[in-house]
Chains A and B, each alone.
Chain A
Amino acid sequence: MITSKVSKRYAKALLSLGKEDGKYRKYGEDLHDFSSFYAQNEEFALSVSNPVFSLEDRKRILNFVLEKSLYSGTVKNFLNLLLDKNRISAVSGICSYYEKLTDEVANIARAEVITPGPLNEEAKMRLEKVLETLTSRQVRMAAREDKALIGGIVVKIGDLVLDGSVKAQLVGFKESLKRGEYR
């Protein structure tokens, strides 16, 4: 909970800077890139987040990596600030929340589409359009496969879940039979 609050606070701060200079998308990309790098390199993550090492050493390591990157100066300073405040380990949470904030700013809704098999492009486009009409926002879909659905499709947009899977229909049918709705 505390981490989540901290992440939100830092993400909002960075977004406000990005909105001022109009580079919030670039900042989001840089932050996402660094977050992925941080998650994939465990040794690097431990080196910069472990307080056993001195702050100067950790800063030296971080800046060594940042110098090699093409990140904007603001993002570099932001990451240095996170290190100073001992919040570098919260970068993943900050990045996730930052993406949510940028989506809101850009009026983008992220949809998770789950199907038992691959979804064809034509269906994807139709679905995207329908969802955009439904949410009145630009939709960015992330597809995922789950064989347990048997058939059909499940779409999750924020808190909204649209379940059109065979599995869900069978469960509903089973519950109806249990309640004795079919005799």
Chain B
Amino acid sequence: MTRRPYRSGKFLFLVVIMLTVSVLFCGFVMAAGDSAHGQDRSGDLKDLLYRFINFALLVIILFVVLRKVGIKQFFVSRSEEISKRLEGLKSGKEEAEKRYRDLEKRLQEFEEKKKDIIAQFKAEGLAEKDRILDEARSRVNQILEQAEATVQQEIQAARDRLKGDVLTLATRQAEEIIAREMTENDQNTLVNDFIERVGKAH
């Protein structure tokens, strides 16, 4: 939307000219009226001229001042600013709508991803559960095997101890019996056998 400030400036200038001309003609008309009555109205005419000049100066000053201040430009720029802001707001709205659509789309994607993740976690959880159960079963079997081995070892050790105790007792009893029953002849026989064995060993 474009503006044309010079057209309105011309319009303003025309208004001022028309006002001046009309005031001027009013002055002439009044002067003519007064002269028709036959009275000397030159002083009034002079006053009117002064007033006119005064008014004209006021108009000129106003025109110059307003031009210097740039009121027209102010309104023009203000109008452009508003139109720009409107355009900005419109584009912002479009941007916001676009972002809303994006967010909606991302939300949808996120929901899908969430579902996927939950499904994946569920699958992993199940796999982990199975793994833990397998491991626990294998550990249980291992413990049972170890316990079985320990039991067998303990049984064997107890057997060995018992055997050792029985043998110790038997040996002790044998010693007592042999010592009791040993005669001098037996001792001589043992010594002779020993001497013979040593002699043969050589």
Contact = CB atoms under 8 A, between A and B. Distances in A.
B109 interface: no
B29 interface: no
Chain A interface, DSSP helix/strand/loop, else mixed = helix
Interface in A62-117: 115-117
Contacts of B201: 134
A164 B190 contact: yes
Contacts of A120: 188
Contact of A170 (B175, B190, B195, B198): B175
B182 A150 contact: yes
Contact of B195 (A115, A126, A173, A174): A126
Interface of A: 115-117, 119-120, 123, 126-127, 130-131, 133-134, 150-153, 155, 162, 164, 166-167, 170-171, 173-174, 177-178
B171 A171 contact: yes
B192 interface: yes
B202 interface: yes
- Place the interface of chain B in its size category: 20 to 34
Contacts, number: 73
B195 A130 contact: yes
A34 to B, nearest CB: 37
B188 A133 contact: no
Contacts of B168: 174
A162 B167 CA distance: 25
Given A131-B198, A174-B167, A123 B182 contact: no
Interface string B183-199: 01011101111110111
B187 A151 contact: yes
Contact of B198 (A115, A116, A162, A167): A162
Contacts of A155: 198
Contacts of B84: none
Contacts of A173: 171
Contact of B175 (A126, A133, A150, A153): A150
